[in-house]
Amino acid sequence: MTWRRIAIYYTLSILLGSYYFAFEWRPSADQPVRGVRAVQQSRFLPLVRDDIQELVLRSKDGMIHSRRNGQNWEVIEPQGTKITSALLASLVESLTADKEVQVVEQSASDFAPYGLAQPYSTIEIKTGEKDATTVFIGDHNPTQSSVYARKENSPQVVLLGYSVRYYEELIFEAATTSKS
């Protein structure tokens, strides 16, 4: 191979790369918001885990309604579904942990970058007859270590630990397996 041919190849690759970045490349608007943000801490759900009486989980995989019976959890809907009480208790624990969560955006006007415009799942938490809080769970953060979340009627977007998504997936998997 001659030096002339090598120079032609380099010139062509630079021209093609320039063309791609100038005319073809479009940064995706659906990716999570990245960049330096001031980290704020907040208590996301100021609930005591023993006060929570019911959970209603909804996702593309279906709906699971469970109720506390003493110290154990039992599934009400879909009937006949067997999910261990420990899985539901672990989900409650990960939602009501005593630690503070990171606030990603105090008052977001667009929830799409966080996967919260059409959430991955919703969790309705009932503490009494009329007291209910709905939590929307969105996409993973860029490091895949947490998930974006927000409460219903709140513009605040926070990061919850990945365990919330993990326990949800295990619960829906157990529900699917127990139906078979």
Give the confidence band of 36 by pLDDT, cuts at 50, 70, 90. Answer: very low
pLDDT, tens only, 122-141: 989 888 767 788 889 888 88
What structural domains does the chain harbor?
A: 40-179 (2.60.40)
First-to-last C-alpha distance (Å) of the chain: 64
Q: Please count the other Cβ atoms lying within 10 Å of the Cβ belonging to residue 162.
A: 16
Q: What is the DSSP letter of 117?
A: S
Element spanning 92, H or E: helix 85-95
Dist. CA 48–CA 36, nearest whole Å? 33
- State residue 89 phi and psi, 5-degree precision: -65, -35
